[in-house]
Amino acid sequence: MKNYCKNCGLELTDDVDVCPSCGYQVETSEGEYFDDDVNIDNEKIINELNDKYLRLVAEFDNYKKRVVKERASLMETCNDTMVLDLLETIENFERAIKTEEINPGIKAIYSNFLSFLDKHNIKVIECIGKPFDVDTMEAVTSIERKDISTPNIVVDVISNGYMKNNRVIKFAKVVVSK
């Protein structure tokens, strides 16, 4: 006569009374391996496994959403780095235009750069005459001005600051009044 585990149906040798796989008592018959108690245990196991499966599916769905957000954030950060490099070139154009007579073709290229910034919602932070704002500006130095009685007013911009979608991508470097 063959011995079978009541829980898992594993065929066992004659000398074993307890299944080494799951720890259940063995049944010594050729017929059914499971009784009513085991069926209740099986339903419980099925429900537990189903619950684990549903949780795993939900966790994986959340993981996919998180990866999409992280990828978008990474792309934006990479784009910001590229834009920062481009801003240096634009500022060099501005310095050249202020100091000397420039070829109209060069001015057209500068204008195209400004259009690029506008197209990508990158705005210059307006500073002169406004109170110093630590969230958008970096004070390089302060000077005493007789025509300005209020302290911490921006009197000069060393380097423009820029915002993209209401987020600072480059702080303005400014001179403030004492």
Q: Partners of 170 in the beta sheet?
A: 162
Contacts of 113 (CB under 8 A, 6+ apart): 86, 89, 90, 93
- DSSP 8-state secondary structure symbol assigned to residue 100: S
Parts of the chain with a pLDDT under 70: 1-3, 25-40
For residue 137, give the 3-state DSSP assignment.
strand
CA atoms lying within 13 Å on the CB side of residue 38: 16
Q: What is the pLDDT of residues 101-142, one digit of tens each?
A: 878 888 888 899 999 999 988 999 999 999 999 999 999 999
pLDDT number for residue 131: 94
